[in-house]
Structure 1
Amino acid sequence: MYLIRKANLIDLPTLLEFEQSLIQAERPMDVTIKEGKISYYDIAAFIKDPMSEVLLIEHGNEIVASGYAQIKKDRHYLKHDLQGYLGFMYVSEDHRGKGLNKRIVDNLILWCKEKGVNEIRLAVYQENPSAIKAYEKAGFSKHLITMRLDASDFEG
């Protein structure tokens, strides 16, 4: 049985391991990520922040999935003032394909709606088609493409 719950600081060691696994999985998709041990998030701050919600899923006594939502002020020229930003979506390998990421995403969207936030965004690598498909199944649509150039290779 899978139980979804709010994360607490006692969960931090496992969540930090998830973060490193996520970074390792994303490094081949992003040449701009530094080598060595890095961190994407301040997970402890997210857990403490009333404008953030960190959820996890347990199977037995093992944490097997995670994700967060953070309510942020958005740009002044948009129709909405706030957005819910989703991130830190991770499901341990043995538990993938069981709809756990969707459960977390659905619960985070509901949390945002409870806070009066209807604009929900997330970022996903173009080279991660399975994640794109999962988010599209959850109702997300592609909106903006970020492009980059390493000018050290530019000879124009």
Structure 2
Amino acid sequence: MTGLPETEIASATAADRDAVIALWRACTLTRPWNDPVADFDSAIGTAASDILLLPEGGAPVAAVMVGFDGHRGWVYYLAVHPDHRRKGLGRRMMDAAEAWLRARGAPKIQLMVRSDNADVIAFYEALGLGRQDVVTLGRRLDGKTGA
């Protein structure tokens, strides 16, 4: 039971940008070195990515960014408003992300969680995702600092 009526999960549109970014900020998902406006804008309206949201009263209470690079499905910015947690909405959004990826033929789903975020790691493990023996390497291409 979600605690919300079975509201339809929908794809975000440009009109949802400010509300989705406010949700990401309320969930402390944004970082100073990442531009959430650019992240939002690059994810909507393409065949390879989307932002799925669950609205209540005209504003999203949960959202997830999903993408398929042709090899793996990726999940980013899974957010459930703090006032709506522990109602099954995170699981519902992950189910929607997985369905979106399956519809595009993605054979695998992956996501990254900061290693010190034990609660979020436990959430994903409870959903059946497992730790993988990989090292993530990266480098900024935009001249900014930060992960």
Give the TM interval when normalised to the shorter protein.
0.7 to 0.9
2:10 alignment counterpart: 5
1:48 alignment counterpart: 45
Tell whether the 8 Å contact from 2:51 to 2:64 is kept in structure 1 after alignment.
Answer: yes
Q: Could you report, residue by residue, the CA deviation over 1:34-73 in whole angstroms, capped at 9, with x for unpaired residues?
A: 47xx525521221111111211111232311110111114
CA distance in 2 between counterparts of 1:107 and 1:119 reads: 15
1:76 alignment counterpart: none
User: Percent identical across equivalent pairs?
Assistant: 24
Moved more, 41-50 or 88-97: 41-50
If the length of structure 2 is used for normalisation, what is the TM-score? 0.77
1:130 alignment counterpart: 119
Aligned length: 131
Tell whether the 8 Å contact from 1:53 to 1:108 is kept in structure 2 after alignment.
Answer: no
If the length of structure 1 is used for normalisation, what is the TM-score? 0.73
1:91 alignment counterpart: 80
CA RMSD of aligned residues (A): 2.3
CA distance in 2 between counterparts of 1:58 and 1:51 reads: 23
> How far did 1:7 drift?
1.1
User: Is the counterpart of residue 72 in structure 1 residue 77 in structure 2?
Assistant: no
> How far did 1:115 drift?
0.7
> How far did 1:9 drift?
1.2
2:142 alignment counterpart: none
Tell whether the 8 Å contact from 1:83 to 1:120 is kept in structure 2 after alignment.
Answer: yes
Question: Which residue identity lines up with residue 17 of structure 1 in the other structure?
Answer: A
> How far did 1:126 drift?
2.1
Q: Aligned in 2, Cα 1:57/1:129: closer, same or farther, shift over 3 Å?
A: same
For structure 1, which runs of at least 5 residues remain unmatched after alignment?
Answer: 28-32, 74-81, 149-156
Q: 1:61 aligns with which of 45, 53, 58?
A: 58
